[in-house]
Amino acid sequence: MSNLTAEETFVRLDNVTLEYQHEGQAVRAVEDVSLTVRRGEFVVVAGPSGCGKTTLLKVLAGLVVPGNGSASVGNVQVRGPQKNVGMAFQNPILLPWRKVMDNVLLPLEVVAPHKGRFRRHRSEYVAQARELLASVGLEGFDDRHPWQISGGQQQRASLCRALIHNPEILLLDEPFGALDAFTREELWQVLQALWMQRRFTVLLVTHDLREAVFLADTVYVMSTRPGRIVSRTAVDVPRPRTLEDTFSAQFTETYHEIRRQIGEVLGR
């Protein structure tokens, strides 16, 4: 980690430890986690389920405050909700009473500075949303209700909702975990294309290591609870990566390396 200079670092976690109360007992979710992310970097945190990956995202989004250590974005310490982040989860959680377009526009109704000008400049925002929807292959789906589109399409819309306010950081919590294998691989490519075009900073947590290697510039592996960072691996497979690349020697080597690290974490 020391090969990065301070200026390059955009997001950093310093010795973050976080406990929460469960049935009267303190459960340590993450322990002494430090990591740094450069602006525009695609970072994947991989680890077994229940290792506190989600907690890290919440710390970065400013939704929970770590008991020890600190998080900072752009050299400013995170103390409350970060308006420059977009989030998406395994469950697309679109609002069923809103059409796809209105779901995508939802963040603009609550986030500054857009919420003040949303009503007057609605058509402008709708145009942006259309463009974004088209870029994930949802052209012409504006007027559908969420239940009228497939799970993969819902997840695409959820991605658009996370990106509509042009956040600098995108936090993704196993976003493709509930999809079938083919849809998942397709969405890897959609996400990669979006990222290459817009160059936001991404933190994605997953337990799918092929996904991790396909998408990441850097993969951090976390241990079982309490979650600690056990390794950091740079993925040098050139972009844009294709599904064909997942069979290349370089890809499989990296994959095996990370799989081995996970194996050590799990003790098997």
CB of 195 to other proteins, least distance (A): 19
Task: Give the residue with the Cβ less far from other proteins, 146 or 214.
Answer: 146
How is the chain classified by DSSP, letter by letter? -TTS-TTTEEEEEEEEEEEEEETTEEEEEEEEEEEEEETT-EEEEE--TTSSHHHHHHHHHTSS--SEEEEEETTEE--S--TTEEEEESS----TTS-HHHHHHHHHHHSTTHHHHTTTTHHHHHHHHHHHHHHTT-TT-TTS-GGGS-HHHHHHHHHHHHHTT--SEEEEESTTTTS-HHHHHHHHHHHHHHHHHH--EEEEEES-HHHHHHH-SEEEEE-SSSB-EEEEEE----SS--GGGGGSHHHHHHHHHHHHHHHHHHT-
Task: Give the residue with the Cβ less far from other proteins, 126 or 230.
Answer: 126
Site for other proteins in 131-160 (CB under 8 A): 145, 147
CB of 157 to other proteins, least distance (A): 13
Q: From the list 97, 119, 267, 268, which residue makes contact with other proteins (rule: CB under 8 A)? A: 97
Q: From the list 53, 156, 165, 241, which residue makes contact with other proteins (rule: CB under 8 A)? A: 165
Q: From the list 47, 52, 107, 227, which residue makes contact with other proteins (rule: CB under 8 A)? A: 107
Number of Cβ within a 10 Å radius of residue 17: 16
Q: Per rule CB under 8 A, is residue 181 in the interface with other proteins?
A: no
Site for other proteins in 60-79 (CB under 8 A): 61-63
Q: How many residues does the chain have?
A: 268
Q: Per rule CB under 8 A, is residue 43 in the interface with other proteins?
A: no
CB of 1 to other proteins, least distance (A): 26
With b meaning 16 or more CB within 10 Å and e meaning fewer, what string describes 140-156? ebbebebeebeebbbbb
Site for other proteins in 13-32 (CB under 8 A): none
Q: Per rule CB under 8 A, is residue 96 in the interface with other proteins?
A: yes
| Span interacting with other proteins, options 21-29, 54-62, 118-126, 218-226, rule CB under 8 A | 54-62
Q: Per rule CB under 8 A, is residue 58 in the interface with other proteins?
A: yes
Q: Per rule CB under 8 A, is residue 259 in the interface with other proteins?
A: no
Q: Per rule CB under 8 A, is residue 93 in the interface with other proteins?
A: yes
Sheet with 9-22: list strands edge to edge: 25-38, 9-22, 68-73, 76-77
Q: From the list 15, 20, 65, 81, which residue makes contact with other proteins (rule: CB under 8 A)? A: 81
Q: Per rule CB under 8 A, is residue 203 in the interface with other proteins?
A: no
Task: Give the residue with the Cβ less far from other proteins, 121 or 256.
Answer: 121
- Contacts to other proteins by CB under 8 A: 58, 61-63, 81-83, 85, 87, 89, 91, 93, 95-97, 106-107, 109-112, 145, 147, 161-162, 165, 171
